[in-house]
Amino acid sequence: MHAFIQGLILGLLTAGVYALMASGQTLIFGIMNVINLAQGAMVILSAYISYQLFKSFGIDPFLAIPIVTVGMFVIGVAVQLLFLRPLKREDRAELSLLVTFAIALLIEGIMSITWKTNYRSINTSYANSSWTVFGYQITLVRLWACVLSLVALGLLYVLLNKTRFGRAVRATVQNPESARLLGVESDRVAALGFGLGSATAAAAGSVYGLLYAFYPGSHYDLISLLLSIVVLGGLGSIGGAMVGAVVVSTSSAIVASTISPAWSAMTFFVILIVVLVVRPRGLFGSTARGAI
Amino acid sequence: MSKALRLSALRGAAFFGLLAALPSFNLAHWVLNMLVFTLMYAAMSSAWNLVGGFTGYPSLGHAAFFGVGAYAVALWFQHHAIHSGYEPFVILPLVGVLAGLIGLPVAAVAMRTRADVFAIVTITLLFVAQTLAFNLHSITHGAQGLSIDPAPFSPATFERPFYYVLVGLLALAMGITYLTIKSKVGLSLASIRADEDKARGIGVRVSGLKLLTFCVSVGLTSMVGGVWAYYEGFVYPQFAFDPLITISIVLMTFLGGRGTLWGPILGAFVLELSQQNLAYRLGGSQFYLIAYALVFLLIMLLLPRGILPTIQDRLRYRRRRAGAAEGDDRPSAPAPRTAAAKVAVGGGERA
């Protein structure tokens, strides 16, 4: 029972970071119908950048978030303009999968050369401090990571619901054709949307670097995690991504703490399969644009 | 025999005759080694093409079945001895059937949905399989990997048995592809690719055909994996379940032209030979990962339909113009982008 609750706490605290990554992924899908397999690679790249900022300039990873976010936003827009926009064909969804996979490999290659392939971690002074509440351990970093991710998600919510750009994005997600007819510039929305998705990866990546040790191949672990979250939540639904993140994160943490960490990666796949059998469009996916 | 049929029979005979004759030219070991790997990729690309090219479901998880085949052979020979050296080849059909059976439930779930969710499930399967290979220590020995007794072939002609078995697998994959193209099955697959719901509406057995194609495809892939494990003598999780294998076979098929008989083979020969060269020159460094990704991105942007379909279109266009000049404007096949053409072209050999 103790292991179960400890797993639950850990899972809930980590869920925020995963929700942040996954919201970017599902946003990109919602706007462009593109499943971005490079999202995980962008997270790890951001972790490396904030690692480097901490090591070279002593900038605290939490404070580095704005810098990394802006940088990745620019990179995301560039990727969309260079590699995804030219794919204007009927089978764009299929081709974009392969293109983003290639981008993931490209980023992995660049990271392997710049930072070598051994594990790195960001060792801040507070990395190991934790509280013990009723016998359960709560690490400070994880708590902060969760809070910060929630703040970032809040900002994303405000951006999408209170601004003109946000309205254009939501219109595109709902119905791309009508949005275009009503004067939404879909090309610009797509480019900025991809940048925004990358920016969430950046914010999550800086936090991820604090929580886990990482190496260039770490993004492979994130791909299956993120994909099972967005499919569970319903492709294109940000609220769904958050719920999905909580479910996936807690269940894998509980499996890791009660059964064995060896099987926790298997939980993603099981969840994915169950969702596809029981409810293929996910928890909050619309029938029109969900998985079916 | 019609002219087209005779031509394709001639082409096939010439290609496989050349492949069969190559080892007798006393090629150096490194050349044969390179050819062995090229044949592996050619056979796997040809198998992937059945699912990714003809049916239009881009599987990113074929490397998982490559790994299943590799581990199946490695595990079998933990308990059985190798005497003549040909035992691993004999059990290959069993390995193929096993992988097909594993693929069946995966396909049954993943293919209920659209193509992009199918890609999600298959790529997740790949990473889960890799994690399991690392973590199920009692069976797979984890990161330590498994070793297979070295084949007792004479060092002078060591590569030949592997080479010929792979030629056989390639012939099998291409034979299945050829039969698919020539039969109603190819037509049905093309209709699934063009519009699945309409295909179902006109009575195509969509679900059964998709499952069958996927199982055959992953079965072939696992057999290549089995040969690979025996050839290398070692199986490690990170090499048996390598995302690069998936991306390579997809890239080769795209480069040559998906949905064609010869496209994947052309792509495999071009890419694998140049990749082996590249790896040889750049060493084992990570630069080739970057080079590979860049080549992929360039092909996607500049030649998204592949070499063969592009050439064919060009030829067709020229022929039509020549025909128009003579006032003999026969109705030629439409450009294979439209839905109707996909079905029409599926009936005839495209390359």
Residue of A nearest to B250 (CA): A98
Write out pLDDT tens, residues B307-321. 888 888 888 888 888
Region of poorest pLDDT, from A156-170, A273-287, B302-316, B327-341: B327-341
- Distance in Å, alpha carbon of B248 to nearest chain A alpha carbon: 10
More confident residue, A182 or A75: A75
What is the Cα–Cα distance from B27 to A152, expressed in whole angstroms? 62
Could you tell me the two tokens for A79? 């990727």
Side chain identity at residue A109, one-letter code: G
pLDDT at A83 exceeding the cut of 80: yes
Predicted local confidence at residue B46, as pLDDT: 94
ipTM of the complex: 0.79
Beta bridge partners of A133: A136
| pLDDT mean across residues, chain A | 82
Residue of A nearest to B111 (CA): A276
* CB A103 within 8 Å of CB A79: yes
pLDDT-derived band at B342 (thresholds 50, 70, 90) equals very low
Chain B residues whose beta carbon lies within 8 Å of the beta carbon of residue A277: 109, 112
pLDDT at B345 exceeding the cut of 50: no
Chain A residues whose beta carbon lies within 8 Å of the beta carbon of residue B58: 94, 97-98
Helix, strand and coil content of chain A, in percent to the nearest 5, comes to: 75, 5, 20
Rounded average pLDDT over B1-27: 81
Write out pLDDT tens, residues B177-218. 999 888 888 888 888 887 888 888 888 888 888 899 999 999
- Burial (Cβ within 10 Å: 0-12, 13-18, ≥19) of residue A27: buried
pLDDT at A109 exceeding the cut of 50: yes
Q: Calculate the CA dihedral of residues B174, B177, B179, B185 and round it to 10 degrees.
A: 170
Chain B residues whose beta carbon lies within 8 Å of the beta carbon of residue A98: 58, 247, 250-251, 254, 296, 300
Region of poorest pLDDT, from A103-112, B8-17, B339-348: B339-348
Chain B residues whose beta carbon lies within 8 Å of the beta carbon of residue A220: 127, 130, 243
Predicted local confidence at residue B346, as pLDDT: 40
| CB count in 10 Å sphere of residue B64 | 34
pLDDT-derived band at A288 (thresholds 50, 70, 90) equals very low
Write out pLDDT tens, residues A177-197. 788 788 878 788 888 888 988
Contact between A280 and B117 using a beta-carbon 8 Å cutoff = yes
Write out pLDDT tens, residues B65-94. 999 999 999 998 888 878 787 888 888 999
Q: Is B54 on the interface with A (CB under 8 A)?
A: no
Could you tell me the two tokens for B27? 């090629």
pLDDT at B330 exceeding the cut of 60: no
* CB A33 within 8 Å of CB A95: no
Predicted local confidence at residue A290, as pLDDT: 39
Write out pLDDT tens, residues A213-237. 888 888 888 888 888 888 888 877 8
Q: Which of B114, B254, B290 sits opposite A109 (nearest CB)?
A: B290
Start-end of H helices in chain B = 3-21, 29-48, 62-79, 87-90, 92-110, 115-135, 137-140, 160-182, 184-194, 196-201, 206-232, 237-240, 243-256, 263-282, 287-302, 307-325, 339-347
Region of poorest pLDDT, from A79-83, A86-90, B81-85, B225-229: A86-90
Domain extents in chain B: 3-347
Contact between B135 and A221 using a beta-carbon 8 Å cutoff = no
Predicted local confidence at residue B326, as pLDDT: 63
Write out pLDDT tens, residues B34-68. 899 999 999 999 999 999 888 888 888 899 999 99
Chain B residues whose beta carbon lies within 8 Å of the beta carbon of residue A87: 300-301, 304
Residue of B nearest to A231 (CA): B117
Fold of B3-347: ABC transporter involved in vitamin B12 uptake, BtuC (1.10.3470)
Q: Residue B127: which of A249, A266, A26 has the closest Cα?
A: A266
Q: Percentage of residues in chain B with pLDDT exceeding 70?
A: 90
What is the Cα–Cα distance from A10 to A19, expressed in whole angstroms? 14
